[in-house]
Structure 1
Amino acid sequence: MDSSGGTNPSSPSSLDSPGDQARFRQVLGNFPTSVVAITTTMPDGRPETMIVGSFTSVSLEPPLVAFLADRSSRTFPKIREAGRYCVNALASDQEILCRSMATRGADRFDGIPWQPSPLGNPVLDGVVAWVDCELEKVVEIGDHHLAVGRVRALRAESAKTPLLFFRGGYGDYFSSASLVLDRLVGW
């Protein structure tokens, strides 16, 4: 509380009162995340996808990555059943693709060009990079599943900047002198 008895929005608060979920989302929205499409194919060859903003590397030895899937997801059980998936790092110019792939009930691959990964998962055209995985472990955490994958193949596809999610919106907010330096010295 501030000196007037009200809550100061810039002061720290606990998460024990009603309305905490909205505050939690508002504050954590200040942490930018990359946007990825998790893709797989079903036994009948039909591609499936889900959009997530929670992809991360986990381990170098063995090579592991992870993402979080909401427990209410209708697509995650299909990915789990397939036992393999490809993480497609969407490029900053793929917001429309992202939004169409996030739409429930639609044919998310209608008119979307892709190639099969070494494991047979869709690699979307125009992505920044992709990582092909076998599902290693699923852990239930809160209202999400943590899906850990063993990396089997990966590739950086383009020098485009990634699509980011920040403060409730999509964009290309990444601007860094280190990117310019990297291109100049060839790192």
Structure 2
Amino acid sequence: MTETVEESFIRAFRNHPGGVVVITGTTPDGQPVGFTATSLASLSAYPPRATFNIAQTASSWPAVAEGSLLAVHFLAKESQGLAQRFAGTTSERFSGDHWYVNDLGLPILRDAIGVLVTRVNRQVPIDLNALIVLDIEEGRFSENHEPLLYHKRAFGTVAGPPEYLI
């Protein structure tokens, strides 16, 4: 039996590890929204820009209008619960004290190892999805943690550098 292009695509990306982030923002009426993403990618360092993908049917879609502020949270391997929370039921994502509102009005996750405050530069609609371009406005990051990764439908982390690099 020959595999379809779609099946090959799904298998290829299932085997491609991705860094895990949670992206948060607010809807036009001020409600906090957020979601887990593995599609974050660096676009350029000068000026600092990144991209991610989102379905236009996602509950967080209203928060990604051009000009909107978003927070991109980098997670440590110990933060798997946060990743699962923001990939799960929408009503449960902001229940609890794992977040606060910063001075810009953005929901910020307390246990993130890094946060980039971004502004949506543009949306590029593609079928039912969109590529979102972010301008990075400020950030903080701690390198003393192992990153959370997603690979083969499971969360994990890197095994570490090869011995010759130690």
TM-score (norm 1): 0.77
1:150 matched to 2:135? The reply is yes
Contact 1:161 1:172 in 2 (8 A): yes
Number of positions where the alignment pairs a residue of Structure 1 with one of Structure 2? 165
- Unaligned 5+ runs, structure 1: 1-5, 8-16, 182-187
Inter-CA distance 152–86: structure 2 relative to 1 (3 Å threshold): same
> What CA distance in whole angstroms lies between the structure 2 residues aligned with 1:112 and 1:63?
31
Shift of 1:177: 4.5
**Percent identity between the two aligned chains:** 26
1:23 matched to 2:29? The reply is no
> What CA distance in whole angstroms lies between the structure 2 residues aligned with 1:146 and 1:129?
22
Contact 1:42 1:82 in 2 (8 A): no
> What CA distance in whole angstroms lies between the structure 2 residues aligned with 1:96 and 1:53?
15
Inter-CA distance 69–116: structure 2 relative to 1 (3 Å threshold): same
Letter in 2 for 1:164: L
Counterpart in the other structure of 1:108? 93
TM-score (norm 2): 0.85
Letter in 2 for 1:60: A
Higher Rg of the two aligned structures: 1
Deviations, residues 127-164 of structure 1 (Å, cap 9, x unaligned): 12111111101102344211111111011045111110
> What CA distance in whole angstroms lies between the structure 2 residues aligned with 1:135 and 1:46?
18
Asked which structure has the greater RCO (Cα within 8 Å, sep 6+), the reply is 2
Q: Secondary structure at the match of 2:77?
A: coil
| Larger strand proportion of the pair | 2
Cα RMSD of the aligned pairs, angstroms, is: 2.4
Q: Secondary structure at the match of 2:78?
A: coil
